[in-house]
Chains A and B, each alone.
Chain A
């Protein structure tokens, strides 16, 4: 059985199944196992026992009936045989005595009769005494083995039953009596066929009946006995009972026999000693006697009891066998169910890689297979679900990360925007004092000139005049310096305002070379102002035929500033990496006339852009710079300005560790194209 059922243990998920869960399912299993198991065993044993018991009971009942009837039959036959013998014996004696009543008293002599009687005694040993009575009832002759013969005694028998009964019924059987307290005798009288033949009275020794009765042996304790028509005991192996003149008429079987109801023979009854006996009888016809044959119940049924005992043993054996077979069969039925249940429990606890292996080839196996299919499908969808959850989680994590980055960038941008506003505000406020500085110094130069003119008209010595002129010249020179530096400050403020978002300005036709030049200068000075010791070689190759382009100068300047600043950053970074091995950071700006379009190239010999960065570099907020150094909006906004606002194109060519070149192509009528519907 064990070989039929084993459990294929799965790999991946088995670790997840908790030990408590297994223990719980195991204990639950054992409870159910015993229930089902006991149920099956009990059912099987009950079925077998009922069948065997029914069979045994029927067998015992029928064998009891058969046994009993055969015993009764045998006893009846024996009784009949005994009765026949007794009857024959009596009939023979009757017939022998009959001979002595053939002659009428007148015809023969007394001697003749005596002689006949003596011969009869000699021939029939059972007859002990013979008396001959004449027709009038007087004894004429008496021959006896025990006493002297008596002739002509004349004893009157005429009123005695021996005579009257014989005359009336031809034959008379007297009651049994005993001589010498041991031998049974009976009087038998017979009347002759004719009226004058008289009556012969014979005293018959019934010892022979005893012999017959004693000769009958039924089993060990079986016995036969004879009762007369009155129910008195005539012959019995126990002579004392007979001698006590026992009355048997109260026994059920005797009553029944005397009532001659042959149909309702009593088969079981009590004997004279009160023991249960099996009994049968046969009548002795002429005498009205009955021969009974009886066997004690215990002896009669002994074989039956043996048989019952045997059946009992067989039943016990069968019971044991049924129990074992029941256990076996129940085991066969329960174990696969058990395995199925355990498997289902494991599946239920989430161990979906488990498969139930049952090879019984019946419905249980089919059920197990269905469970396996179900588990397979569950496992599949579970794995699918887990994969989906993983994917979603990854996506969400990515989104969250993106959002965080975007948030950081937005905060940064917001900071920069407010910084820009602040810068713009400061720049404007600086413009007011600058206004005074520049204009007052301008007026002051005029006033110095006027002072010189006034001094010309004044008389003074040469030395004084020379001193005054020198001081005025120095003052004019100082004021010129103030004007010059004031204008420089004004230029810086202008650039600051240009770089801030304030006012995107209007589109107009501008010299593209001038725009690029201005951007280069702005970026260069910006970078120098930002970092001490910054230096880079700038190469310009402007196409004189580049001409004018209608565009938003501030926006294009923004783009160029951004690209150039990036170029500076990359080239400087490469120099920092290269160290002092003669690398010279260079940035080249070029323009080219393409007819109705203009091309601008900004190329640096910096670190280049890796492919994965190149793919994302125009995305908003994408940056490779450390936090705080870039907003990640530069290239994205540049892209929007070139492509959306000016309907141009921006492309990048790069080789990591070597160079990066941005190429911008703008239509001549870039701004107006964009305004009239090019704003894709």
Chain B
């Protein structure tokens, strides 16, 4: 049973960046990463996850159409067991409060500190294994 991390961001380059950053883990097959460029696409991916075990969702907030904060309750409703970490350029207290209230596990600000993110992912992977 493979572990899956879903990354939601409207920027296509995010996939490239993540795949490079986590290339060793991905090559080692410790977990897989899936990328959605919008909130609806993310919801679709969640339902179509199949037998892969979704262990974490990383989501941007500022997206055209449905924003990350709007996606949050829907994702929670679909998969209440999956933790969601929000990644945003807006690290102000108000955004942080709304994200946490909406059910997010944590809020990371851009530019992304991959050291921190790696720790978070590692925790989930170990727990799931």
Contact = CB atoms under 8 A, between A and B. Distances in A.
A494 to B, nearest CB: 9
B21 A503 contact: no
A435 B92 contact: no
30 contacts: A428-B62, A428-B89, A429-B89, A431-B89, A431-B111, A432-B11, A432-B110, A434-B111, A435-B89, A435-B110, A435-B111, A435-B112, A436-B11, A438-B111, A439-B17, A439-B21, A439-B111, A439-B112, A439-B114, A440-B20, A442-B114, A443-B17, A447-B20, A490-B111, A502-B92, A503-B93, A503-B94, A504-B93, A505-B92, A505-B93
B17 to A, nearest CB: 5
A506 interface: yes
A454 to B, nearest CB: 14
Interface string A59-94: 000000000000000000000000000000000000
B51 interface: no
A678 to B, nearest CB: 21
A503 B94 CA distance: 7
A434 B114 CA distance: 14
Contacts of B111: 431, 434-435, 438-439, 486, 490
Interface string A359-385: 000000000000000000000000000
Contacts of B21: 439, 443
Contact of B17 (A428, A431, A440): A440
A64 B56 CA distance: 157
Contact of B20 (A434, A438, A443, A486): A443
Given A428-B89, A435-B111, 13 more contacts: A428-B62, A429-B89, A432-B89, A434-B111, A435-B110, A435-B112, A436-B17, A439-B21, A439-B112, A439-B114, A443-B17, A490-B111, A506-B93
Interface string B93-129: 1100000000000000011101000000000000000
Interface of A: 428-429, 431-432, 434-436, 438-440, 442-443, 447, 486, 490, 502-506
A496 to B, nearest CB: 12
Nearest to A444: B20
Interface residues of B, number: 15
A420 to B, nearest CB: 14
Contacts of B89: 428-429, 431-432, 435
A434 B111 CA distance: 7
A432 to B, nearest CB: 6
Nearest to B16: A440
Contacts of B62: 428
A436 B112 CA distance: 9
Nearest to A505: B93
Contacts of B110: 431-432, 434-435
A251 B87 CA distance: 165
A544 B92 CA distance: 31
A445 to B, nearest CB: 11
Contacts of B114: 439, 442
Contacts of A503: 92-94
Contacts of A447: 20
A433 to B, nearest CB: 9
A440 B20 CA distance: 8
A496 B35 CA distance: 32
A434 B89 CA distance: 10
Contacts of A438: 111
Given A428-B90, A505-B93, A436 B13 contact: yes
Nearest to B92: A503
Name, among A439, A440, A505, the residue most crowded by chain B CB atoms within 10 Å (CB to CB): A439
Nearest to A502: B92
A490 B21 CA distance: 20
Contacts of A432: 11, 89, 110
Contacts of B93: 503-506
Contacts of B92: 502-503, 505
Contacts of A436: 11, 13, 17
A610 to B, nearest CB: 40
A675 to B, nearest CB: 15
Report the 3 A-B pairs with minimum CB-CB distance, sorted nearest first: A503-B92, A431-B89, A435-B111
Nearest to A442: B114
A432 B17 CA distance: 12
A438 to B, nearest CB: 5
A457 B17 CA distance: 27
A323 B93 CA distance: 110
Nearest to B9: A432
Name, among B21, B62, B89, the residue most crowded by chain A CB atoms within 10 Å (CB to CB): B89
B37 to A, nearest CB: 14
Contacts of B17: 436, 439-440, 443
A435 B13 CA distance: 11
A486 B110 CA distance: 12
Interface in B76-91: 89-90
Nearest to A429: B89
Nearest to A486: B111
Nearest to B113: A439
A440 B90 CA distance: 21
A506 B89 CA distance: 18
Contacts of A428: 62, 89-90
Interface in B2-50: 11, 13, 17, 20-21
A486 B62 CA distance: 22
B22 to A, nearest CB: 10
B71 to A, nearest CB: 18
A21 to B, nearest CB: 74
A431 B113 CA distance: 13
Contacts of A434: 110-111
A439 B20 CA distance: 10
Name, among A435, A442, A504, the residue most crowded by chain B CB atoms within 10 Å (CB to CB): A435
A603 to B, nearest CB: 33
A110 B58 CA distance: 217
A522 B83 CA distance: 38
B12 to A, nearest CB: 11
Contacts of B13: 436
Name, among B20, B21, B111, the residue most crowded by chain A CB atoms within 10 Å (CB to CB): B111
A442 B115 CA distance: 11
Contacts of A443: 17, 20-21
Contacts of B94: 503
Contacts of A440: 17, 20
Contacts of A505: 92-93
Contacts of A431: 89, 110-111
Nearest to A506: B93
Contacts of A502: 92
Contacts of A429: 89
B10 to A, nearest CB: 10
